[in-house]
Amino acid sequence: EIVMTQSPATLPVSPGERATLFCRASESVTTNLVWHQQKPGHAPRLLIYGASTRATGIPARFSGSGSGTEFTLTISSLQSEDFAVYYCQQYNDWPQTFGQGTKVEIK
């Protein structure tokens, strides 16, 4: 199966600052990658699909990039509601697999 590795595990960021999260696949997934956001006690929510397309209702401060094995999620100016755990997931092959998550916390 394709192994997804996220870094860093924890990212301390001050409100208003930029956050950059990384996701690496053990083999190419082309652009078949999504990013989900999860807040404590809640289900995940889709942010980005196709590596770079924002899902419906997702603010423009969220952007995704990358292809093949290297991907990035950027939050341009962190708002209070953005402190959460972020997961990447590949859907290029079965089984679909998730990264272990990056927790964005208040610095």
Partner 1 sequence: QVQLVESGGGVVQPGRSLRLSCAASGFTFSDYGMHWVRQDPRKGLQWVAVISYDATNTYYADSVRGRFTISRDNSENTLFLQMDSLRPEDTAVYFCASYGVGRYIAYWGQGTLVTVSS
Q: What is the contact surface with partner 1 in residues (CB under 8 A)?
A: 1, 32, 34, 36, 42-46, 49-50, 55, 87, 89, 91, 94-98, 100-101
Beta-carbon contacts of residue 41 (< 8 Å; ≥ 6 apart): none
CA distance 59 to 40: 20
The alpha carbon of 74 is separated from its chain's Cα centroid by a whole number of angstroms, namely: 8
Task: Supply the minimum distance, in Å, between the C-beta of residue 17 and partner 1.
Answer: 26
Task: Supply the minimum distance, in Å, between the C-beta of residue 49 and partner 1.
Answer: 5
CA distance 87 to 46: 10
Nearer to partner 1, 68 or 76 (CB): 68
Cβ atoms of residues 56 and 48 within 8 Å = no
Task: Supply the minimum distance, in Å, between the C-beta of residue 66 and partner 1.
Answer: 15
Nearer to partner 1, 14 or 42 (CB): 42
Nearer to partner 1, 48 or 75 (CB): 48
